[in-house]
Structure 1
């Protein structure tokens, strides 16, 4: 076997192992309980032998602990502590977070800050959830289709024509609801209108009951998006004050 082929296979195995570790942590977040090796292997869709090796490694590194003899494993707080240290030292989020909190308090709705990835999807970087019992819930790290997401639309609107053409070439325009924009041509017409008004809506196009309004934000030469999202009836009835609050936040991040 050629040396390059051996290296490629080793690299693929390393990537697969890394993905498995992330999947294990996501399973714990979803299940919210101690899990036995058998349960983990089933939820992971992996052989028991592979799962055992991963669990033993994570336990030896202090990321999992055995909750009782043969009762299963659960994550320690080590991963949380690492994530908190990373978050505290993020210069972008340190700048953005106070603005998001002010915007959340002013509108009473959930506020999201995100960017467009190279694969054409919107990545949520930070979220400040509404304190209203009935609210839109999101978490950092979630991914959304660019053409039916208010943040994605705001970023598309701030792009050059060439960059927007490249981004829209990756979109399939599959309908999500009865309101979903049906074609690239229709979206481009709407983007031209939204550029004139300065804000970008999503009223029931990604989820039937969700309303969201976003504006683009340029920081350090990169374009991000900031949105206010909530139940569609509340957002549609409060467009003017929400837009005003978003524009204040946009101005605050420009300075």
Structure 2
């Protein structure tokens, strides 16, 4: 064991493991395969360190060389891990039938997201019954400040925890509608707390409007959130009746199932 600055024991090898994970995340988040020089620039690690780390990840099947031999992408072993995690997710298994019913009732794309650090990660996506398809996918993540799932989750946190998280977020602007300050986000969070649901009004993507609501576990702790995504110009005339009420009913139903489940009642074991 080693010690870090706070004096808390830290497992030996944590630094090296963190480098591996950071490099994997960079590759996963990139829209195209990355080279060693690009990974070094993005990570801030020395090129020899990146070269050794990537070599280890390739040896374990977590990364593979692209056909050009100069760039890297996610390997089959990592994809296998992710697939098994997704298939065995207790939350997803409990929620999936209700999510399908919500998608069928609204006719719109439905996402189930869980918090991961300062973002929300999609663990289920059910496409709209229309011909319109969204760019999101299972495993992708969205920022809390610009997404309906993120704002729904923030609004359900204890006040001190919510404030701390809001203050440390990075406020990337995605559209002209994106909130870019902690004060602006807190105003939206207060509105979510008053009305019981959140919105993303073209804040992540132009033309896309989302409604969000939180799933609660034991002790009313937020464990996940659901969103309904619509094309803004094609919304139903009465969005509260068409989208918000079914969304809230679905969240309550899943929350009840979680609380009644011995495995899921403790949010630490939600996966």
Q: What is the TM-score with the length of structure 1 in the denominator?
A: 0.72
In the other structure, the counterpart of 2:7 is none
Q: Does 1:227 align with 2:230?
A: no
Name the counterpart of 1:164.
162
Displacement of 1:41: 4.5
The answer on 1:250 being equivalent to 2:251 is yes
CA RMSD, 1 decimal: 4.0
1:12 aligned partner? 15
Asked whether the equivalents of residues 152 and 225 of structure 2 are also in contact (C-alpha less than 8 Å), the reply is yes
How far is 1:201 from its partner?
0.9
What SS does the corresponding residue of 2:100 show, helix, strand or coil? Answer: helix
Deviation of 1:186 (Å): 4.2
Range moving further from structure 2, 98-107 or 191-200: 191-200
Aligned length: 243
Deviates more, 1:219-228 or 1:231-240: 231-240
Do the aligned partners of residues 238 and 53 (structure 1) sit closer, same or farther apart at CA in structure 2, a change above 3 Å counting? Answer: farther
Residue 177 of structure 2 is aligned to residue 179 of structure 1: yes
Return the offset for 1:14: 3.9
Larger Rg: 1
Runs of at least 5 residues in structure 1 that lack an aligned partner in the other structure: 32-38
1:169 and 1:54 mapped to 2: Cα distance?
33
Q: Which has the higher helix share?
A: 1
Please state how far the C-alpha of 1:113 moved relative to its aligned partner.
1.5
The 8 Å contact of residues 136 and 231 in structure 1, kept in 2 or not, is answered as no
Between 1:98-107 and 1:10-19, the stretch displaced more is: 10-19
Residue from 180, 186, 190 that aligns with 1:188: 186
Conserved in 2, the CA contact under 8 Å of 1:135 and 1:230? Answer: no
Alignment partners' CA distance in 2, 1:248 and 1:151: 16
* TM-score w.r.t. length of structure 2: 0.68
- CA distance in structure 1 between the partners assigned to 2:243 and 2:86 by the alignment: 28
